[in-house]
Amino acid sequence: MAHRHSNCFENCYPCYRLTLHDENNKCVLLEDISEAENLALVFVPITFTFNMEMKHCPTFRKLKSLLLNDFWCVPPDFHALTCMLKHSPVLQKLTLQLSEGPQHKLGIKGRRNPSEISAAISGNLKIVEVKCEVVDERVFKILKFLATLGIRFSLEDVDISEEDLEP
C-alpha cells in the first residue's frame, strides 16, 4: 500500500482524516474498550491502523474472557496475540476462533501448565480454547506458539461437532 506522506504511520490524519491517538499518545480504538470484562475482537482492521494501535496498547485491567479471531494470530511472532496477552493481567479464558463465523468443527482446549509459568500471560489464565474447521499448518503453528507460553493441549480435550460425525 503506497502512502501519500512519509509520516503516514506516525500520523494518519493527512491521508485518511483519522486520528488514532489522543493528546497523551494513548490509542483511541483500544483505549475505549480497555475497561471491558468480556471482549470479542473478531474484526479485520486496516493493517497500518492495527500495527499503530498495538504500539500503544492499553492494559485491560478487568478483562477476564477474551475471544479473538485469526486476524490476531499471525505468525511468525504472533505480535498482536502476544500484546493482548501481556496487557490482560487478570485474563482467565482465551478463545481463538480460527474459522469463518461462529461455526466450527473442532474445539481444542488447552490449560496453563503451572510448572511452566510465562511472564507473557496472566497467572489467572485457566483455559485456552481454539475453535477451527481443521487442524492445518496455521492451527498447528498457533498451538506450537501457545505451548511456548506454557499452554498445553491434549487429545482428550478435543471436541468434535456432532454434525461431522458419521451415523
Residue 142 lies in a domain: yes
Residue 13 lies in a domain: no
CA distance 56 to 59: 10
What nine digits make up the cell of 68? 479473538
Number of structural domains, the chain?
Answer: 1
pLDDT digits (tens, 9 = 90+) for 123-144: 899 999 999 988 899 999 999 9
pLDDT digits (tens, 9 = 90+) for 74-130: 888 888 898 889 999 999 999 999 887 667 888 899 998 888 878 778 889 999 999
Residue 149 lies in a domain: yes
CB within 8 A of 128, min separation 6: which ones? 93, 94, 95, 96, 109, 110, 111, 112, 146, 151
What nine digits make up the cell of 146? 501457545
Q: How many helices (H) and strands (E) does the chain have?
A: 5, 6
The amino acid at 10 = E
C-alpha to C-alpha distances, 165 to 105, 159, 162, nearest whole angstrom? 10, 11, 5
Q: What is the pTM (predicted TM-score) of this model?
A: 0.74
Q: Can you tell me which residue has the cell 505468525? A: 75
Residue 4 lies in a domain: no
Which domain, by its residues, includes 58? 35-164
Residue 103 lies in a domain: yes
Residue 155 lies in a domain: yes
CA distance 147 to 122: 15
Residue 14 lies in a domain: no
Residue 140 lies in a domain: yes
